[in-house]
Structure 1
Amino acid sequence: MGRAEERRARQRGARRAAHVRSSGAERGVIRRLFTWKKILGTFFGLCLLGMGAFVVLYMVVDVPKGNADAQKQSNIYKYSDGSVLVRTGTVNREIVELADVPKEVQRTFVAAENKSFYRDAGVDFKGTARGLINTLSGKGKQGGSTITQQYVKNYYLSQDQTVTRKLKELVISLKVDQQYSKGDILAGYINTSYYGRGAYGIQAAAQAYYGVDASELNVAQGAYLAALLQAPSQYDWADASDEGRKLVKARWKYVLNNMVEEGWLDASQAQDLKFPVPDAPKAAPGLEGQTGYLVKAADEALERQLVSQGTAADMDEAKAVVDAGGWTVTLNIDEKKQKLLEKAVKAKLTSRLDPEKRKVDANVQAGAASVDPKTGKVLALYGGQDYTKHYLNNATRRDYQVASTFKPLILAAALENGSETQDGRPITASTVYDGTSERPVVDDGRKVGFAPPNEDDVNYGDVSVQTAMNKSINSVFAQMGVDVGMDEVMKTAGELGMDVDGLQSVPAQTLGSMGASPLEMAGVYATLDNHGKKVTPAIVKSAEHKDREVDFPDPVGEQVISREAADSVTSVLTGVVDDGTARLSVREAPNRGGQQVAGKTGTSDNNKSAWFTGYTPKLVTSVGLFGEGAVGTANESKQVTLKGAAGGGRVNGGGFPAEIWAAYTFGAMGSTSEFDLDTDMGAAVTPTVEPTPTVEETPSDTPSAPETSAEPTTEAPTSAVPTEEPTVEPTDGATTRQPTAPATTPTFGIPENPDDSRGGDTG
């Protein structure tokens, strides 16, 4: 080894030695600073400091008087102009003595919430610590509280999610447990807790859910009420989803099993108990007619906003805050338009129904919502004939298929994405599709396993998109959906305002097989009417409370699809009114006065629902009819057909729904107006091909091949009622019949409904 190499080796050794000495010195410093004795000393010091702070807190915090917020107050609801709609009435609470509640029912609450209640000191330190951590980390509502802690929170404190409130709850709970008997605490708990349906306390809950006094409850009913406290709105059998019903049944069994474990109930007796399905809800006095529906919709909107802004941890807590009272809620509802909508439904539908003569008439439920497309305000809402007789709000329910009212969203997706047909042609209003019934849908030359029938199996041959929309041809829009891509279709539907979470992107969705509410569909079409700017219908204008402020978001949002795409869909939808399935009820309405209208009809599988959603430049309204069977023993109503209602045949979207729409809209709109459309396609475009549709040979009772309607012109959509009569009278879903001789004066009656000879989406 040369001298140079020896020198370099010595240098490397020196550097390693220096590094070792440095590392050793650092470890030495760490050992001196963080010895086990110092760590343990610090830990115990913090513990002593915390204990000292708790002792001070325990000394300075006394058991306060009962919280005023525990006493329910009235809410005041107003129309948009400030006039009073309703005051919600008296406090729905009646205090009962614990001795008046059967012993086994008392124990259901202990079994549900706090099995160690009779043995503990009133607090659960582990649960409280977990709650504090959740609160500090922003995870929201905490669990693990004892019955004593929950009673203290309900009666002495507030629902605020803060560390200060939780610490006070802990101290007051310890003192309450020392100063009061377990019986007093349990009585306070079951008398102050919120059970849903506006019921505070076990007496009000017993009446609300089972129509009996608390003294008459049995153990099965008590176990349900005890289970209900965990999530009142989610577990209310009348409104619960399938998942909610499974959860509350499991919770009910959990309560009974705990009672068995504690020796309060025989296992054999628990095994024999049947789930006690509660009675259907009954509305409070003063909420008759449409008032209850308006109040319920406003409450739900306020509750969602309380959760959104963090005032409440979840919807159950928000509902308790709203039901506790003290609110002044001003709705966007226009009193005059509200009365007009109610009058239209009565004149065009309910006055024609006779349940004593026709059983089907008892199954007809109507819902409607009307929205200002420029502001998003909900101006009128129809939830059913009477809130005190039909608790479920038909304007906000989402359990019926929207059928062909979904077709415009497919076209919107095609235009927004610049989509093309399978052979590379851009999709526009004049693009030609094969309208053959049950034609297999193809994607890149392969059949996708979906071949929907047109109404009554009518074959249309080659038709334009405009004609397909006018006649609501299923086979065309099923293929268009695949051409666009169902992922894109569902994405656009969501952007326009439909709730598509959890829905599969499959071709069957092109028939509108998903559920939606009239309010939801009014928002979707309002977005189209507003040139593609998102409109989220807002029923609440403002909500004031002495203890809190609520800020509501702007109902009009950002541009979700291009103006050209939205306006092109609007232009196409004028054809549905002027020469399509809504022609008789809307175009020829005597009070139309030349008003431009765009809209779409829809009739679902087996005629279980029928829709018309339409709009003018100033007003969007969606009307739905739903076939709802009688409520069974489980408080469940099944979907049934509307066929035969009012003595007619099939109930199409161009019938009752369109008539209600026209009677309301043309009475409410004031002066006429024209659409300001940025488009070069739609009802004004002449299709490149407009062949005559054909029908395959069928038995003699099948409708004959329909004739085509008048050719669209190349002029802009006119605001005047066309004078040229089409050669056929299209119905919802495009089944057509030869018309009888026209009357000298147009009548505003029910379009003739053809027999329901075919299932599937019918327009």
Structure 2
Amino acid sequence: MGRADARRAQGREARRAARGGGIRRFFTWRKMLGAFFGLCLLVMGAFAALYVYVDVPEANAQAQKQSNVYKYSDGTLLARSNSEVNREIVDIGTVPKGVQHAFVAAENKSFYRDQGVDLKGTTRGLLNTLSGKGKQGGSTITQQYVKNYYLTQDQTVSRKLKELVISLKVDQRMKKDDILAGYLNTVYYGRGASGIQAAAQAYYGVDAKDLDTSQGAYLAALLQAPSQYDWAVASERGKKLVKDRWAYTLNNMVDEGWLDRAERDKMTFPVPDAPKAAPGMDGQTGYLVEAANDEMKRQGITDEMLDAGGWTITLNIDRKRQKQLEKSVDKQLEDQLDRKDSKVDATVQAGATSVDPKTGKVVALYGGVGATEHYISNATRQDYQPASTFKPLVLASALENGSVTQDGDLIGLDTVYDGTSKRPVVGSDTPFAPQNEDDRSYDSPTVRTAMDKSINSVFAQMVVDVTPSAVKKTALDLGVPDKNFPERPAITLGTMNASTWDMAGVYATLDNHGKKVTPTIVKSAEHRDRTMEPVDGVGGQAISRASADTVTQALTDVVDVGSGHEANTSAYDAAGKTGTSENNKAAWFAGYTPELTTVVALYGESTKDGGGQVSLTGTANSGRANGGGFPAKIWADYTLGALGGGSDATFDLEGVERGETSVTESPSVTPSETDEPSETPSEEPETPTESPSETAGEESPPAETPSETPSGDPSESPSATKDPDDGDQPPGERPGSDGLLGQ
């Protein structure tokens, strides 16, 4: 190598040395340490600013959502409300300590000692998020609670930083038990269950308060992977993993001193129940839930309070009696109908309400073919007339007011009236002349006989004798809801509106010796933040016991030998009344035993858009529908089953009022032009002795006839035309046909 080359080599070495020394001078350990501390100060400053800037927010809407739980009277589950979240928030005090400790042992052993955060786990999560590796574990119970209750499930850096800050603040502000309660109530367990109460029901069919430690350990283990660890659907590997985690949870409890080792060794894996579909709102369930919600609203619980969820609502509905009522409607009505091919059958709607007359509890209710198919509940709808089920109220008012006939005779069961069909009422400013069933006239029938056969002309005159205003007052006192019905003689035919629910209350009041009964379906309604006072189903005397018991005496004959004979099974003591509204649009049977009051009704409802009332004539090819037909048969079948095959209980009647027995002047009986002479009785005994098939002709079609010299507004005068539906069947083929209204 020449000297020139040597000099060049030396120059290169010198330049290299100069560069190396410069880098070393720049990256000295002092400068690096200073930079590190500076970065730490920067991070701390940024975190301090973040800590000040980020406050604990309001809870997110999803975390606060709960479902309402509806139960039968025996505590078994009826339904959960249709909520986006199946959750029922419970207090931490109701969760057994062993179960609480199981969750802490599984998720965060240091929960009771830490400051609410896991810096290592949070840092790992931030790095995973930044690198795109997705979800990570390691969060504390406090952090998971904050994520579920205050934030979202988004996997972002900003959300994780907020979670860290809020967790620190929450840990400072809240007690550990409250944080744990929030966590248990918000976390998702699979099977559609959010919160430990819903999870306890979903996996073990018990409330959270009844979980044991082993079951709690399974639910705690489940949280790591709910879809994979659900025993019902888990693979063999999934089952092994969840059993291992269950054991890990219990062993941690032993290590923390929360569980005795000997007790732990005795524990076996608690295999959860098979999953069950949550009861929906189809069938009768929706009607029951709607009735309960409506009652709660009447008690001051708003829609907003109900929609927020969290209610545990126990109904008075007796599960066995409810099933019996559904079975009876199916057997006695639905199985006879051809809804697909018969236009008449397609219009038939059934409704029923059954009440305990001693308490007012609604023990069974039938709202229709199904709440998801027919949205209006036929049990509580008030757009049809109760027809002649109103007649006992006329008698009750007469007895209560000590009313007398136009001849001055005190009205009672043995008081004699004029039973002439189309007889104009006497003593009324409003003309009224109702037609009896089949236009039949009766020679001097007693009130008892008039009730048995539902003789329109007798009760029309009785309304006038009592005065329409007095009758209306008694009806309202007994529970008829329509306060706007006119005070006219025609009210004897039930021209106001009422539901089976309303009339069940009215008849239960008669059953309860005149003491007011208000049907009530909610047994209890519990919520952790508010209360609802249940309805008191029994009040004071609406009418005297003597009046009520006299009406009951009259109605026992209706079931024994009168228009309601189809309700008589000889297995119980019963009283009742039939009714059919104008043009066969509704047919009713309202009846009671000493232990049970039930009202059943059929309604004709058009299947066309907009609905509307139509005739029931021809239902199941049975001619003219009436209260003594399908309704009475449903009533009898249900009552027999609901009473366990029968009952020895008898009516305890006191002070039954017989009234006057002297016969008043009465016109002779004349067959109508439309009736065959053999079909018109020339003389009617006060207590019929013929067989029901021969005598039980219910009330007639009361096509009303104006008085001979109408006065006042012509619109007040009823039509004299006979109802076109009358006569669709030969008279002898409809022993239970009820009267049709003429206006």
Judge conservation of contact 1:371–1:619 (CA < 8 Å) in 2: yes
Judge conservation of contact 1:652–1:731 (CA < 8 Å) in 2: no
Q: Deviations over 1:583-605 (max 9, x none)?
A: 1x122x3xx32x21110000111
Relative to 1, partners in 2 of residues 1:432 and 1:339: Cα closer, same or farther, differing over 3 Å?
same
Q: How far off its partner does 1:726 sit?
A: 5.4
- Which AA in structure 2 matches 1:643? T
Relative to 1, partners in 2 of residues 1:759 and 1:500: Cα closer, same or farther, differing over 3 Å?
closer
Paired position in structure 1 for 2:469? 487
Provide the secondary structure at the position in 1 that maps to 2:314.
Answer: strand
Q: Deviations over 1:198-234 (max 9, x none)?
A: xxxxxxxxxxxxxxxxxxxxxxxxxxxxxxxxxxxxx
Q: How does 1:228-239 map to 2 (within 5 A)?
A: none
- Which AA in structure 1 matches 2:405? T
TM-score, normalised via structure 2 length: 0.59
Paired position in structure 2 for 1:642? 616
Q: Does 1:628 align with 2:623?
A: no
Q: How far off its partner does 1:731 sit?
A: 2.8
Distance 2:58 2:631 in 1: 56
- Which AA in structure 2 matches 1:84? L
Provide the secondary structure at the position in 2 that maps to 1:637.
Answer: coil
Q: Percent identity?
A: 55
- Which AA in structure 1 matches 2:356? D
- Which AA in structure 1 matches 2:290? K
Distance 2:64 2:669 in 1: 70
Q: How far off its partner does 1:510 sit?
A: 1.4
Q: Which runs of 5+ in 1 are unaligned?
A: 1-61, 94-155, 157-283, 308-317, 714-721, 736-750
Paired position in structure 1 for 2:547? 565
Provide the secondary structure at the position in 2 that maps to 1:549.
Answer: coil
* Aligned partner (choices 73, 77, 101) of residue 84 of structure 1: 77
Paired position in structure 1 for 2:741? 760
Provide the secondary structure at the position in 2 that maps to 1:733.
Answer: coil
Q: Deviations over 1:171-197 (max 9, x none)?
A: xxxxxxxxxxxxxxxxxxxxxxxxxxx
Judge conservation of contact 2:356–2:597 (CA < 8 Å) in 1: yes
- Which AA in structure 1 matches 2:611? S
Q: How does 1:336-485 map to 2 (within 5 A)?
A: 336-443=320-427, 448-485=430-467
Q: Does 1:298 align with 2:292?
A: yes
Aligned residues: 470
Relative to 1, partners in 2 of residues 1:753 and 1:726: Cα closer, same or farther, differing over 3 Å?
closer
TM-score, normalised via structure 1 length: 0.58
- Which AA in structure 2 matches 1:586? A
- Which AA in structure 2 matches 1:82? G
Q: How far off its partner does 1:503 sit?
A: 2.2
Q: Does 1:664 align with 2:629?
A: no
Provide the secondary structure at the position in 1 that maps to 2:299.
Answer: helix
Q: Deviations over 1:483-517 (max 9, x none)?
A: 11111111110111111322221212111011100
- Which AA in structure 1 matches 2:319? E
Relative to 1, partners in 2 of residues 1:482 and 1:697: Cα closer, same or farther, differing over 3 Å?
closer
- Which AA in structure 2 matches 1:533? K
Relative to 1, partners in 2 of residues 1:532 and 1:703: Cα closer, same or farther, differing over 3 Å?
same
* Aligned partner (choices 660, 665, 669) of residue 694 of structure 1: 669
Judge conservation of contact 1:455–1:761 (CA < 8 Å) in 2: no
Judge conservation of contact 2:626–2:737 (CA < 8 Å) in 1: no
Judge conservation of contact 2:450–2:458 (CA < 8 Å) in 1: yes
Provide the secondary structure at the position in 2 that maps to 1:306.
Answer: coil
Q: How far off its partner does 1:399 sit?
A: 0.5
- Which AA in structure 1 matches 2:617? K
Judge conservation of contact 1:536–1:556 (CA < 8 Å) in 2: yes
Provide the secondary structure at the position in 1 that maps to 2:656.
Answer: coil
Relative to 1, partners in 2 of residues 1:692 and 1:600: Cα closer, same or farther, differing over 3 Å?
farther
Q: How does 1:571-586 map to 2 (within 5 A)?
A: 571-583=553-565, 585-586=566-567
Q: How does 1:739-750 map to 2 (within 5 A)?
A: none
Q: Considering only CA atoms, is the larger Rg found in Structure 1 or Structure 2? A: 2
Paired position in structure 1 for 2:695? 729
* Aligned partner (choices 495, 498, 510) of residue 480 of structure 2: 498
Judge conservation of contact 1:404–1:601 (CA < 8 Å) in 2: yes
Distance 2:82 2:692 in 1: 56
Distance 1:513 1:700 in 2: 27
Judge conservation of contact 1:409–1:489 (CA < 8 Å) in 2: yes
Q: How far off its partner does 1:687 sit?
A: 8.2
Distance 2:559 2:661 in 1: 17
- Which AA in structure 2 matches 1:287? M
Relative to 1, partners in 2 of residues 1:92 and 1:402: Cα closer, same or farther, differing over 3 Å?
farther
Distance 1:295 1:757 in 2: 34
Q: How does 1:207-226 map to 2 (within 5 A)?
A: none
Q: How far off its partner does 1:358 sit?
A: 1.8
Distance 2:480 2:474 in 1: 9
* Aligned partner (choices 581, 587, 593) of residue 610 of structure 1: 587
Q: How far off its partner does 1:730 sit?
A: 1.4
Provide the secondary structure at the position in 1 that maps to 2:420.
Answer: coil
Q: How far off its partner does 1:456 sit?
A: 2.2
Distance 1:342 1:82 in 2: 20
Paired position in structure 2 for 1:51? none
Relative to 1, partners in 2 of residues 1:481 and 1:328: Cα closer, same or farther, differing over 3 Å?
same
Paired position in structure 1 for 2:651? 675
Q: How far off its partner does 1:304 sit?
A: 1.0
Q: How does 1:107-126 map to 2 (within 5 A)?
A: none
Distance 2:543 2:739 in 1: 36
Provide the secondary structure at the position in 1 that maps to 2:495.
Answer: coil
Relative to 1, partners in 2 of residues 1:693 and 1:538: Cα closer, same or farther, differing over 3 Å?
farther
Distance 2:512 2:85 in 1: 43
Relative to 1, partners in 2 of residues 1:67 and 1:557: Cα closer, same or farther, differing over 3 Å?
farther
Provide the secondary structure at the position in 2 that maps to 1:91.
Answer: coil
Q: How far off its partner does 1:71 sit?
A: 4.8
Relative to 1, partners in 2 of residues 1:426 and 1:367: Cα closer, same or farther, differing over 3 Å?
same
Provide the secondary structure at the position in 2 that maps to 1:380.
Answer: strand
